Structure 1
Amino acid sequence: MSESLASGAHRAPQTTLRHKLAELRGPAVVPRPMDARALAALAANPGCRRRALLDGAGVDKTVLASKLGSPAAYGQSQFAIMRGNAFEAKVKADGGRELLRLLGIDDAAEVHVPDLAAAGPEGRAARTSLALREAAEAGAWTLLDHPLLALEVAGSPVFLEPDAVVVRPDGRWTVVEIKSFPMIDGSADAAKVGAAARQAAVYVLALERIAAVTEGARVAHSVLLVCPKDFSNLPTASAVDVRKQVAVTRRQLARLTRIEDIAAALPEGLTFDVETCSAEQLTEAVEAVPHAYAPECLAACELAFHCRERARCAGAVEVLGRSVRGELGGLTTIGAVLEAARGSVGAEAADEAEDPTVTAVRRARALRAEALEAVACR
């Protein structure tokens, strides 16, 4: 009886949170699921409460950005998506013959491919966990095609779908990432490989959660990256060490503020319903949630242009980059930096307190003046 009451008490907050997030998203709006790409981007900027809440609520940020008048160029083109799907289909054709070849397996009959179909994401995630445990017990090659993994992020469950997971006879689980960018002479574009590694790190973290309760199982920290070879469509593969990405992602996700804490601080009745709200209402709602803009957001977030414009209007030093923001300490606006450099009243008070940041800014201004004077005298 006490266990039942405890279980009910545990489910109640989750039910309340889901209801709150549905209200924020809009009752009639279908939630946009968070994928590993979005989760990796969120982990790269854990201080952004705005993105954490919008992703947690399943708000379509692409539509939201367009409604706000700042449409984002971020995202894959339809051509790139179609090309990626076609290449993945080729890799997995004929029972995954090409993928098995890359794993060094000639006979497909040696590999067990379990059926992972189930009702809903919770059912699919449970079926995947069961298949992984069964594969670990069997001690044979097993290929899981598009398994569904669950990972708790900021107190809310997120479902992730890697391209494939391979279970080796020794109990090792390896994530397989299939990408359509080429691998020329054994190497690929470093930025694209890095993005794939950060995405794969999220899958590794989700697998570790299952492996922790599965006897004899362990997750490989090297993922198998499958790409087209040179300028052909022939698949080739390379092992990519993601230990650094896993450690960074784990640490960053742990820093995320819990979604229910962010939602609790919002005004009553606030909503991001892109179907019923006007641009003015959506702007007011978005501005009610703090953001942490950085130039890196332009390559990872649909709301980056909107947040950049707001940061520029506020004169925030974040628009200059995280490294500059870190160097400027308590000087949080560009106006404050300029005042400190010119030696205004406020800056003099800070200087009296021997603020090293103000001293450094004034020194930089003096060096700039000397350099300009030297150029003018030539």
Structure 2
Amino acid sequence: MSSYPPDGPPQTTLRQRLADLRGPAVPPRPLDARALAALAANPGCGRRALLDGAGVDKTALAAALGSPAAFGQSQFAIVRGNSFEARVKGDGGAELLRLTHARLGGGAEPPGPDARVPDLTAAGPEGRAARTALALREATAAGTWTLLDHPMLALEVAGTPAYLEPDAVVVHPDGRWTVVEIKSFPMIDGAADAAKVGAAARQAAVYVLALEQTAGKLEGAEVGHQVLLVCPKDFSNLPTAALVDVRRERAVTRRQLERLTRVEELAEGLPQGLCFDPARPAAELTEAVSAVSAAYAPECLAACELAFHCRERARAAGEPAALGRSVRGELGGLATVEAALAAAAGAHSADGPGTDPTAAALREAARLRAEALASAAARPPYQAPETPECPC
């Protein structure tokens, strides 16, 4: 790795520091709501917080480390989703506004020809976020149904801005803002797969938090905590909608995001010259990644591109968290798997025999397991009954 002169590192801005970590020639990878929801689910992982804050492409980094992870939708699913979204938003968003009025219209007049779909194009994510904020302000003041197609929202995460792009936001005549999530999984008999709905709710909660930051600066604006989930009806391509209350997911996500260590604090503790550019040698990248603390758990396998690399390192270090957070919690002061096995075998702790209740419970579990295995070995082997020959 490169190093700076002995008289100390140059004074750089946080943005330049993050660019150096990412690699000067590597463009930043923007955070999306799905990544933020996964980040909020594991706020103790400084590794993910730093890499996401710096805009590192974790998919390319995992491949360079030799532990690639397959994430993302299939090409067929992407095409199907785009086709369904185009159908929902066709004709100036008339069908989407109709579904919104049917589920959340209250006493308002149904959307008519005066419904607005403002142009949100601008240069760069900062420009698009500013254009979206202006469109929200104008729509709230106008008091008419307004559909914002793929707006850009800004949310501060660990001291750095993240730019998010929901499928749509509908502004009601009374000033309410509703997040719309359009998914291609079916809604059969008015209900969709619970796991997929839960993932959509966690993703939508991030959009709600971002909208609340904008709404706090406007008089008369209110962000609804009920998200409109639009899916294909039964096995057709016709859209239907259901309301999803995201107050719980919003509260959890907000609390977890507030617990994240600020990116500048994580960057300050790293050696100068550290870089996560996937073009660098694997040995150098392994050293760089190891310099940032991680909090691996089996749940990471479904949410983080570096999960396989972190799992390998956790297993090599004998970390109980590799077996699950619940196992780590049950083991208490036993910090490694080797220490837990030693306690189960009867090794005494430094405080003296019998003083550690966790070690005593492990010894008792080991004794019961040994008795069960001995009992099973003493039983005669199972013999299947003879089957009479067929008379035919």
Quick check: TM above 0.5?
yes
The reply to whether residue 359 of structure 1 matches residue 363 of structure 2 is no
**Residue identity opposite 1:48 in structure 2:** C
Structure 1 residue 160 and structure 2 residue 160: aligned?
no
| Pair 1:311 & 2:283 matched | no
- CA distance change for structure 1 residues 107 and 262 in 2, over 3 Å: closer, same or farther? closer
Whether the 8 Å CA contact 1:342–1:362 is kept in 2: the answer is: yes
Q: Partner residue of 2:71?
A: 74
Tell me, yes or no, if the aligned pair for 2:349 and 2:356 is still in contact at 8 Å. Answer: no
2 CA distance for matches of 1:331 and 1:159?
A: 41
Alignment check: 8 A CA contact 1:351 1:358 kept: no
Picking from 340, 344, 351, the partner of 2:343 is 340
Spell out, residue by residue over 1:235-287, the C-alpha distance to the aligned partner (whole angstroms, 9 max, x if none): 11110011110010001001100111111111110101113x11111111111
Kept in 2, the 8 Å contact 1:226–1:238? The answer is yes
Is this contact kept in 2: 1:114–1:131, CA < 8 A? yes
Gaps of 5+ in 1: 1-12
Verify: 1:374 aligned to 2:375, yes or no: yes
Local SS of the residue matching 2:190: coil
Q: In the TM superposition, what are the counterparts of 1:1-378 in structure 2 within 5 Å?
A: 16-104=13-101, 107-275=111-279, 277-344=280-347, 347-350=348-351, 352=353, 354-378=355-379
Q: Distance in 2 between matches of 1:341 and 1:23?
A: 47
C-alpha displacement of 1:134? 2.0
* Structure 1 residue 140: Cα displacement: 1.9
| Number of equivalences | 362
Identity %: 73
Residue identity opposite 2:149 in structure 1: D
**Per the alignment, do residues 208 and 284 of structure 1 end up closer, same or farther by CA in structure 2, a change over 3 Å counting?**
same
**CA shift for structure 1 position 353:** 7.7
Alpha-carbon distance in 2 for matches of 1:83, 1:359: 56
Preserved contact between residue 202 and residue 249 of structure 1 (Cα < 8 Å)? yes
Taking a change above 3 Å as real, the CA distance of residues 78 and 332 of structure 1, as seen in their structure-2 partners, is: farther
Amino acid across the alignment from 2:178? T
Per-residue Cα deviation, 1:148-191 (whole angstroms, up to 9, x for no partner): 11110000010001000111122211100011111111111111
* Alpha-carbon separation, structure 1, partners of 2:164 and 2:310: 27
Given that residues 180 and 227 in structure 1 are in contact (C-alpha distance below 8 angstroms), is that contact kept between their aligned partners in structure 2? yes
Tell me the CA shift for residue 350 of structure 1: 4.4
Give the deviation of 1:108 after TM superposition.
4.4
Determine the C-alpha separation between the residues in 2 that align with 1:113 and 1:294.
44
Contact 1:151 1:159 in 2 (8 A): yes
Paired amino acid for 1:349: A
TM-score, length-scaled by structure 2: 0.89
Residue 373 of structure 1 and its aligned partner are, at CA, apart by 3.3
CA contact (8 A) 1:95 1:108 kept: no
Can you give the 5+ residue segments of structure 2 that lack an aligned partner in the other structure? 1-10, 103-109, 380-392
For 1:313 and 1:348, locate their aligned partners in 2 and report how far apart those are by CA, in whole Å: 23
Residues 100 and 228, structure 2, Cα contact 8 Å, conserved in 1? no
Distance in 1 of aligned mates of 2:338 and 2:73 = 37
Kindly provide the CA deviation profile for residues 101-125 of structure 1, in whole angstroms up to 9, marking residues without a partner as x: 2123765413121221222211111
Tell me the amino acid that sits aligned with residue 294 of structure 2: H
Task: Determine if contact 2:111/2:145 at 8 Å carries over to the other structure.
Answer: no
Check conservation: 1:48, 1:292, Cα contact below 8 A: yes
Q: Is the 8 A contact 2:129 2:153 kept in 1?
A: yes
Task: Measure how far apart 1:197 and its partner are.
Answer: 0.6
Q: Deviations over 1:28-80 (max 9, x none)?
A: 11111111111111001111111111111111111111111111022222222
CA root-mean-square deviation: 1.7
Distance 1:366 1:222 in 2: 53
Task: Determine the C-alpha separation between the residues in 1 that align with 2:101 and 2:209.
Answer: 26
**Does structure 2 retain, via aligned residues, the 8 Å contact 1:100–1:108?**
no
Query: What's the offset of the Cα at 1:352?
Result: 4.5
CA contact (8 A) 1:351 1:359 kept: no
CA distance in 1: counterparts of 2:366 and 2:75, whole angstroms: 48
Mapped contact 1:74–1:298 kept (Cα < 8 A): no
Structure 1 stretches (4+) deviating beyond 6 angstroms? Answer: none
SS at match of 1:226: strand
